[in-house]
Structure 1
Amino acid sequence: MQSAEIELKFPISDPAALQARLPQLGFHLDTPRTFEHNTLYDTPARDLRAKKQLLRIRQYGELCTVTHKRQPDQASIDTTRYKIRIETETTVADGPALSEIFQQLGYAPVFTYEKFRTEWSHTIEHSAHLVIDETPIGNYVELEGPPDWIDQTIAELGIDSTTCITDSYGTLFLTWKQRTGSTAEHLTFKAIPTPVLTSR
């Protein structure tokens, strides 16, 4: 399935406190806290990265998906304010087999990142979602949906809009490495053994 993805992130220190407020704001829980493992693939010359594209295999609980993302040909929405991507995604039965196919075609694993994700959807704005990601370098909320809904939700949650970001987890990881001097090569709980996790 192909769709336009419009999203915004912001860091959060206490996921449990935020989740306690969500039902009052029209959200219902879709997927409880679930472990997620992601692998990005690219050529040795990083051709996909140069074209600002992404090829990913994700294992999310029992569900395995393959995803390709690219920038839109034209954007009528402010791309400096929101992250906008054209996403094509489908489920796959055998992630390791698909990984082997990618590698035979010249796409090797280049970056792995992990998190625990909790998914909420909005009861009125059905195309809108809120996810809470607990990563080894901190906790983040992702809002995905129409721009007006994103802005309204940020306001209702009392989030300072200046803390909102469009960075990918790969970019956040590189920024964290520069700040901390870490030698970790991947954003995994094994590579970064002291995760910044708060209440479940």
Structure 2
Amino acid sequence: MAAEQEFKFAVTSLPAVREALRGLGASLKVEATLERNWVLDDAQDSLRLKGCLLRVRQWGESHLLTYKGPARFSAGLKVREELEVGLSASEKALAILAALGFSPVFYYEKQRETWSLGRVEVALDHTPMGDFVELEGEGPELRQVAAALGFAPEAALRGTYLELWRSYREHHPEAPEHMVFS
């Protein structure tokens, strides 16, 4: 089973991060593309209560089904089991999962562009609540890339986009239930 290791940071300027990536010799892999995400659970919220996540993602022409196990944290580094499989169509996967008792409990959108710096994938996410940078790779190299970009690992966010959006809505009650661009 694969383990995902990541840092997520809120940022005030994606252009500044982009410039820093260029200065470090990073390679742009995918230009900013709309990403659509459906988080699913059963009627009892069984997955959420166990700290797990089931998601269908459409990013450009790519469709993925993802399961994430409960997260563990060490000095800001989030580690969790992650299983992914490619799909031919998100809508069919959502229909199959609905037949199995899993329906969307949260829908969110973001513009995501990805960069590669060594063996670390750097995602620049523009969302309706602000901008974020996610670093994914192996622990030691992740920490080096975070430091090179000026991020302190202990300042990494712990929450998923669902959790961050719920917190955001507490301070912005006018925001819609789902994290979507207007």
Both structures adopt the same fold (TM-score exceeding 0.5): yes
SS in structure 2 at match of 1:158: coil
Across the aligned residues of Structure 1 and Structure 2, the Cα RMSD in angstroms comes to 1.7
Q: CA deviation at 1:13?
A: 1.4
Paired position in structure 2 for 1:7: 6
Q: 1:109 aligned to 104, 108, 115, which one?
A: 104
Q: CA deviation at 1:141?
A: 0.2
Q: 2:161 aligned to 169, 173, 178, which one?
A: 169
Paired position in structure 2 for 1:68: 67
Q: CA deviation at 1:148?
A: 2.0
Query: Any conservation in 1 of the 2:77–2:153 contact (CA below 8 Å)?
Result: no
Higher mean displacement: 80-89 or 4-13: 80-89
C-alpha distance in 1, partners of 2:77/2:174? 29
The amino acid that maps onto 1:91 is: G
Q: Greater strand share, 1 or 2?
A: 2
Query: How do 1:1-200 residues align onto structure 2 when only pairs under 5 Å count?
Result: 2-71=1-70, 78-79=73-74, 81-122=76-117, 125-126=118-119, 128-161=120-153, 163-182=155-174, 184-189=176-181, 193=182
Q: CA deviation at 1:3?
A: 1.7
Distance 1:33 1:183, change over 3 A: closer
C-alpha distance in 1, partners of 2:82/2:121? 15
C-alpha distance in 2, partners of 1:71/1:180? 28
Query: Any conservation in 2 of the 1:130–1:143 contact (CA below 8 Å)?
Result: yes
Distance 1:161 1:97, change over 3 A: closer
**Structure 1 gap segments, 5+ residues each:** 194-200
Cα deviation 1:125-168 (Å, max 9, x = unaligned): 32x11100000000000011122222222222223555321211
Q: Work out the number of aligned pairs and report it.
A: 182
Report the TM-score when normalising by structure 2.
Answer: 0.92
Distance 1:17 1:81, change over 3 A: closer
Q: CA deviation at 1:81?
A: 2.0
C-alpha distance in 2, partners of 1:144/1:80? 15
Query: Any conservation in 1 of the 2:31–2:113 contact (CA below 8 Å)?
Result: yes
Query: Any conservation in 1 of the 2:75–2:153 contact (CA below 8 Å)?
Result: no
Q: CA deviation at 1:26?
A: 3.1
**Structure 2 gap segments, 5+ residues each:** none
Q: How much identity, in percent, do the aligned residues show?
A: 33
C-alpha distance in 2, partners of 1:39/1:118? 19
Q: CA deviation at 1:49?
A: 0.7
SS in structure 1 at match of 2:2: strand
C-alpha distance in 1, partners of 2:130/2:146? 19
Q: CA deviation at 1:31?
A: 0.5
Query: Any conservation in 1 of the 2:39–2:107 contact (CA below 8 Å)?
Result: yes
